[in-house]
Structure 1
Amino acid sequence: MTARLLQHPPATSVPGARTRSQWLVAAALCAGAALAQAAEPAAPAPSFKAGIEALGQVSAADLGLPIFPGARVQRDKPDSSGQVALGLWGGSMGFKLHAAKYSSRAPIEQLAAFYREALATHGTVIDCSSGKPVALPSSAASAPSDSSALSCDNKKPSVPGEVIYKVGSAKNFRLVALQPQQGSNSSSGGVNFQLVRMQSQGL
């Protein structure tokens, strides 16, 4: 094929007169274009990624909240980690859930003040301690655009004196639940508490 391209074509096959150098230039351009097309990688096919993960270790970075100083991981059973990380995704949709249980000997009022301040940096905090949302002052620069959709989701105290705070949006939120340990009161301390972070996309 190359030899035919480089030959001077008969005058009857091409309208108008052309010099041999013009045909050589045209042939070189055609060959270069063909090589460039062959060397160009094919466009990748659209990919769809899906997966699930379950882990027993959760960090403060995963929760997006600080751990109260001196708090210890609460294990309901000897072989329990007291922590869980779940993830499920497919394409552009998915969710991540991080949760951890801790215990502290500090008074519940001290933990409540600590986490009100920590949560307030993420938006308007709602107090679900009564089963109904009560907005608390916020120190965040801006609240999530759909913060108005945030609710207690029927979350009610499971034990007397439990304090429940929540911040974020309906699909992306942080939650803190503080429960006085049985047989203790606010003055003597003793608190079990849970930290939860939920993140979802496209759901």
Structure 2
Amino acid sequence: MDLSVVTQEIFQSIPHAIVPDSQDALLIQKHNKLLMTYEDALVTGFYDTVYGDDNLKDQLSADERKAREQTLRQWYQVSMKGNFDEQYWKWQTFVGVVHVKHKISNAAMLGMWGWMMSFLQEKLLQDLDVAEAIKVLAVLQKLQAVVSSLTVESFIVTQKEAIHMASGLNDAILGRLISTEIDQMLTKARTELMGSNTLQQQAA
């Protein structure tokens, strides 16, 4: 798996408008000292939430907490420097690969991103004037969108490549098999939704 290639391919599907630009980076750098004052509370609160939640606590063992906190701390420190370059984005793609290894679901990751944004929103609105806080939050929302996109897509790519290598099937055959299975899943899902005139059914 070539992280550079995968990252570039994912970026081709990410809207340019949500990718942090140089001005966004400068805004994060401007408020770096303030953002770093949130580090300890964010890391502790993040994992208090994970280990205190019935849906999440079984995804990580208790003896992993210290190492996981250090990983999040490192990610936060680097991210709040605002250096959103190619190496940084490749690192976010790599996170998706790590999540496959450790069986951390995309749902859990996205949910905790939501927690983190709520935490930062509360802090920034408390410590900055509203207009400036909204500007910083807008950049952080861009960061959330791009990091989530890279992590989720690399998670999917990693699983697909692992299946491909383990099965020995070429991409065309594997693609047809997956397409057939998806068609069957859609048929079953539509059957379950029959009789309920919902937007979800119409979208299917």
Pair member with larger Rg: 1
Report 1 or 2 for greater relative contact order, CA contacts < 8 Å, sequence distance ≥ 6.
2
Structure with a larger share of its residues in strand: 1
Same fold (TM over 0.5): no
Structure with a larger share of its residues in helix: 2
